[in-house]
Amino acid sequence: MYAAPLEESEWVEPLTSNEARLAPRPLTEEEKEHFVAHGWLRLTDCFTKEQADWVNQDVWTRLGMDPNDKSTWAQRTNMPCHRTFDASVFSPKAWSAINELCAGRQLHDSREWRDSLIVNLGSDEYEGKETHPHELDNWHVDGDFFVHYLDSPEQALLVIPIFSDISPGGGGTMICPEGIPKVARYLYDHPEGVSPRMIPRGHPDFEAEKTLDWFNTTARSCENFVEAHGKVGDVFLLHPLMLHSASRNPLRQLRIITNPPVFFREPQCFDRPDGDYSLVERVTLRALGKESLPGWKITRPREMRVPERIRIQQKMREEEKQRLQQAALTPPLAAEPPAAAA
Ligand SMILES: O=C(O)CCC(=O)C(=O)O
Ligand SMILES: [Fe+2]
C-alpha cells in the first residue's frame, strides 16, 4: 500500500449536503476528452459553501492573522491539518470523478481530505501587479514524500478542492499543461528514479530538498498556462505530472484550497495487453506520443521520503492549537457599547 506520510489528525464526520446539483454522475465524453487532451478538468458543484465554511472554520485564528489588517498577512501558508474526513462522504461527486479518472486495473484508495488549508493572501510587493507565469518561482509537481518514477503509484492525481471563490488574478494556482510531455519524457529517461525535485538518483543533491530549478526552467520553456480559478465547491482534477505554481494573488482576496493526494494501490502500467488503461495512464502515453511502453520498467526500488514540511507543520499545529485555545478563552466582543448610565 502506498500512502502519504501519517499526519497527526482526528477523523471527523464531515458536513454533508443532499442538494441535487451535488449528486455524483458519470463524467461526460467531453469532460473525459478534455482531461485526456489537456491533463486537467474542473468539476463544478462538488460541495456547498456551508460545507466549505465547515472546512475553513477558525481559519483566521489558526493563521494568527487579522482579516482586516494586511500588515498581519503572510503571502502564502501551507497549514497543518487537525481534521481528516472522508472525501466520498463530503463530496460524492468529486469522489466519483476521481474514481473514473483513475479506474483501471489498479484501484486507488485515498479518501482522506483534510483541513490542511493552503492560503494565499498575496503581498504588498505584488499587489495590483500582474506577473507572467515565467516569473513565478514555485513550479513543481506534487509528491514531496517519494522518489518519482514514470509509473509512481503514490500520486495518481492532483486534486484541488476550492474552498473560497477565486476570481482571475485572485490567487488561483497557475498550471502548465504544456509541461506534462516534458515531465513525462524526463521520467521516462530516468528509470532509476528522481527526487521530488527531479534530481536523478546518483547526483550529489538527490537527497536534498534544495531547488526547484528543474521545474522553474521547464515551466519557462512553455508558453501556455492556465490559472485555476473558480467558485467555492469547484474541484480541479489534474494529471499527476502537471507542473503548477502558486500565483501572486495581485487582488489579495482570501484564497483557500487544499491538495489531497490520490494514490494507486499498484504502480501504473504502460503495457497492458488488453489496452485497458486508466485515463491518467492515457494522458502519460499521449504525452510521450506512444500507444504503450513495452519493456519500460524502473531499475531501482521505490522509496518513501519524510519531507521537511512534516516537521514544520508539526510545529505550526502546536502554535495553532494554542491560538485556538486562547481564542476560546477570550469572551467575544460585545456587539454594542454598554448603554450610557442614566
Ligand atoms: O497555493 C497554490 O496555489 C499551490 C500550492 C501547491 O501547489 C502546493 O502546496 O503543493
Ligand atoms: Fe503543489
Ligand with the closest atom to the CA of 166: 1
Whether 13 maps to a domain, the answer reads no
Ligand 1 proximal residues by C-beta, below 6 Å? 76, 78, 118, 120, 142, 173, 244, 246, 259
Whether 78 maps to a domain, the answer reads yes
What residues have a C-beta under 5 A from ligand 2, the ion? 142
81 close to 114: Cβ distance less than 8 angstroms: yes
Ligand with the closest atom to the CA of 79: 1
For residue 331, the 8-state DSSP code is P
Whether 15 maps to a domain, the answer reads no
DSSP E strands: which ranges in 55-170?
A: 76-78, 83-86, 112-114, 118-120, 157-161
**Stretch 167-194: mean pLDDT:** 98
Does the pLDDT of residue 109 top 90, yes or no?
no
Does the pLDDT of residue 293 top 90, yes or no?
yes
Interacting residues of 146 by C-beta distance below 8 A, sequence separation 6+: 2, 152, 154, 155, 196, 302, 303, 304, 305
Does the pLDDT of residue 24 top 50, yes or no?
yes
Q: What is the CATH number of the domain that holds 175?
A: 2.60.120
- Percent of the chain predicted with pLDDT > 70: 94
Ligand with the closest atom to the CA of 158: 2
216 close to 140: Cβ distance less than 8 angstroms: no
Whether 52 maps to a domain, the answer reads yes
Whether 287 maps to a domain, the answer reads yes
Q: What does pLDDT average to over the chain?
A: 94
Name the pLDDT band for 106 (thresholds 50, 70, 90): low
223 close to 134: Cβ distance less than 8 angstroms: no
Q: What angle do CA 316, 321, 322 make, to 5 degrees?
A: 100
pLDDT digits (tens, 9 = 90+) for 242-286: 999 999 999 999 999 999 988 888 899 999 999 999 999 999 999
pLDDT digits (tens, 9 = 90+) for 111-147: 899 999 999 999 999 999 999 999 999 999 999 999 9
Does the pLDDT of residue 241 top 60, yes or no?
yes
The overall pTM is greater than 0.85: yes
Whether 298 maps to a domain, the answer reads yes
User: How many domains would you assign to the chain?
Assistant: 1
Does the pLDDT of residue 156 top 70, yes or no?
yes
In Å, how far from its chain's centre is CA 141?
9
Does the pLDDT of residue 105 top 70, yes or no?
no
Helix axes 180-188, 279-288, angle to 10 degrees: 80
Distance 331 CA to ligand 1 centre (A): 35
Name the pLDDT band for 191 (thresholds 50, 70, 90): very high
* Locus of grid cell 468529486: 94
For the record, the C-alpha cell of 189 comes out as: 529517461
One-letter amino acid for residue 185 of the chain = R
- Percent of the chain predicted with pLDDT > 90: 88
Q: Which domain holds residue 306?
A: 39-325
Whether 160 maps to a domain, the answer reads yes
Distance 118 CA to ligand 1 centre (A): 7
The 3-state DSSP class for residue 120 equals strand
Does the pLDDT of residue 340 top 50, yes or no?
no
150 close to 281: Cβ distance less than 8 angstroms: no
Strand-pairing partners, residue 108, are 264
pLDDT of residue 6: 62
Cα–Cα distance, 120 to 78 (Å, whole number): 9
Q: What is the DSSP string of 176-212?
A: EGGGHHHHHHHHHT-TT-B-TT-PBTTSTTTT-----
Cα–Cα distance, 175 to 193 (Å, whole number): 24
**Stretch 91-108: mean pLDDT:** 83
Best residue among 144, 242, 244 to mutate for probing ligand 1, ranked by most atoms within 8 Å of CB: 244
Whether 332 maps to a domain, the answer reads no
pLDDT of residue 342: 37
Cα–Cα distance, 253 to 258 (Å, whole number): 16
